[in-house]
Chain A
Amino acid sequence: MTRRPKNAFRLYCTDVWAGIYTTCVGLGVTIRYLFGKNVTMLYPEVRPEIPPTHRGLHALDESKCILCRLCATNCPVGCIAIESAGKGKTGMVTRYDVDYSQCLFCNLCAEACPTKCLRLTEAYSMIRGRREDCVLRLARPKSQSEIDEHMVKLARREAEKKAASKEAPETP
């Protein structure tokens, strides 16, 4: 058994008093807020302001893409899948998929992009109902004929280039 301290009754009284006093102080704080202004917003009607630096869903400017694939190599999780018709500046992006079930939103892909054609936008709503829908197709869907046409064009250009280079050595 612990010894009863000398001033036990005084301690008891201060304890009870402190209990009553701090209780009233606490109630005072909350009642002031009861009549104060709310800080939350009515979400779907009022939307928060998203700063331009926000790292949300990706956006791709296909016309600027040079198919260097630096974004895919710099991705820590490898969530970017690229397919193309042709290579380099002349190539056409046929598939550019970002798998958001894996994406870290670290911005390393966009920072690696030499032409700044890829960036993470302010879009923050990424609710999907199914797992398959988590993969976002950023490239404009292309029909087979369009791809074929592009390949033919590329081949023709290649042939012209080859022809030109064949001619080139002949000209002094």
Chain B
Amino acid sequence: MSEANVTETAPPASRRDSLRTEEMLLNMGPQHPSTHGVLRLVVRTDGEMVRESWPQIGFLHRCFEKIAESLPYAQALPYADRMDYLGSVNNGLAFCLGVEKLGAIEVSERAAHLRVIAAELNRIASHLIAFGTYALDLGAFTPFIYGFREREMAVSILEKLSGGRLLYHYPRIGGVANDLTPEIASDIRAFLVQMRKVWPEYNALLSDNQIFVKRTANVGVVTREQAIAWGFTGPCLRASGVRFDLRKDQPYSLYERFAFDVPIGEGTKGTTGDCWDRYWVRMVEILESCRIVEQALDGIPEGPVLTKVPRVLKLPKGEVYVPCENPRGELGFYIVSDGDPKALRIKSRGPSFCNLSIVNEICRDVLLADVVAILGSIDIVLGEVDR
């Protein structure tokens, strides 16, 4: 206003210009409560509107790839678990499958079944966290605790099975670490019953809540084309209406034997590919995982769980990439071997990293509160983004 007074000769500023407000750079993170760890988001805001946002990553970089190249395969495996710490079994499984494929190591059917059970339990546990933290991002505290109540059951089962509570180190090269006992089997069945009982409650509390729907529907829409172009995988891709699931389309570890559906986003509450769809695909996947676990538990054959592999495992010369369906999307390890006990190169293709790359594209001209909603709906794990 003062400027207008000074330069009286200048043409009068248009109304639009006089209403122009100053923009502000805002640092969301790395110590922000809803950036799921240590993501730093530099946000250019105009009042409550976010004009642009640049994700800055690397605060949790732990040199996974370099460490894995300096260790024998069996010893690199626990590090793979630590990438996506919420889907630890799935990570280990992807690494094991890669090594086994290159080394032509046979895995017994019982071990494959156990891997499926553990991986799907881990997927449920991970989706429960996604459900809980998403509710927390949107300001509802209670669903978070309810989600953790069920997660605790799943984690206890995995603890009995593997010995860990977060980083299980359960799939091993050539099989799995421990065998299933009847006690654990009955625990799993009890968990499935409980999970199916409380699932409608989650929906009554959160999924169908009008406030929640208003916060998530039509927010952060990722179209089918965008999703494919940005390399989306997992629930985020399926929410945009692409029916692609590696467990169905490129089955590994006997997934072709189990009957399950691949839920996709249908724009039930808004547009296909919005935050609500991404959230809902995960919720439905919990039930589908329950189905898979049940079938695997019913059809598990007797047999050994761990194939004997040489103490110093040398893989033949060559390279391999086996993609796996992690709770967040496609996870695969590209392993290059030159015949040494250590890999020449290990490169991981992680879903969180690829899914995160779209943030700047869809966090544009949205409200500040929507950034939190979008980030939560993509469900990233910074341990895997930064490795």
Residue numbers of A with Cβ under 8 A of B are: 15, 18-19, 21-23, 25-26, 28-30, 39, 51, 53-55, 74-76, 104-108, 120
Contact = CB atoms under 8 A, between A and B. Distances in A.
B163 A54 contact: yes
A26 B167 contact: no
Contacts of B75: 74-76, 108
Given A29-B204, A74-B75, A76-B78, A19 B163 contact: no
B210 A53 contact: no
A107 B177 contact: yes
Interface of B: 71, 74-79, 82, 142, 149, 152, 159-164, 167, 169, 177-178, 201, 204-206, 208-211, 213
A23 B210 contact: yes
Given A106-B169, A107-B177, A108-B78, A120 B163 contact: yes
Contact of B162 (A15, A25, A53): A53
Chain B facing A: main interface SS: helix
Contacts of A104: 78, 82, 167
A74 B77 CA distance: 12
A19 B213 CA distance: 10
Given A22-B208, A23-B210, A29-B201, 20 more contacts: A18-B210, A19-B210, A22-B213, A26-B209, A29-B204, A53-B160, A53-B161, A53-B163, A53-B178, A55-B163, A55-B164, A74-B74, A74-B75, A104-B82, A104-B167, A105-B167, A106-B77, A108-B74, A108-B78, A120-B163
A25 B149 contact: no
Nearest to A30: B142
Contact of B159 (A26, A53, A75, A76): A53
Nearest to B75: A76
A54 B157 CA distance: 11
7 interchain residue pairs of minimum CB distance: A76-B75, A106-B78, A55-B163, A19-B210, A53-B163, A51-B160, A22-B210
Nearest to B208: A22
Nearest to A75: B75
A28 B78 CA distance: 44
A74 B255 CA distance: 32
B159 A51 contact: yes
Contacts of A19: 210-211
B79 A107 contact: no
A69 B161 CA distance: 28
A31 B208 CA distance: 17
A53 B170 CA distance: 12
A39 B205 contact: no
A29 B78 CA distance: 41
- Name the residue among B161, B206, B210 with the largest chain A CB count within 10 angstroms: B210
Contacts of A108: 74-75, 78
Query: Which of A39, A75, A76 is the most central at the interface, judged by chain B CB atoms within 10 Å of its CB?
Result: A76
A106 B164 CA distance: 9
Contact of A29 (B164, B178, B205, B213): B205
Most central of A26, A75, A120 by chain B CB within 10 Å: A26
A70 B195 CA distance: 43
Nearest to A122: B163
Contacts of B152: 39
26 contacts: A18-B210, A19-B211, A21-B210, A22-B210, A22-B213, A23-B209, A23-B210, A28-B204, A29-B204, A30-B205, A39-B149, A39-B152, A53-B160, A53-B161, A53-B163, A53-B178, A54-B163, A55-B164, A74-B75, A75-B75, A76-B71, A104-B167, A105-B164, A107-B163, A107-B177, A108-B78
B110 to A, nearest CB: 17
A26 B205 contact: yes
Contacts of A30: 142, 205
B276 to A, nearest CB: 14
Nearest to B140: A26
A39 B161 CA distance: 22
B181 to A, nearest CB: 10
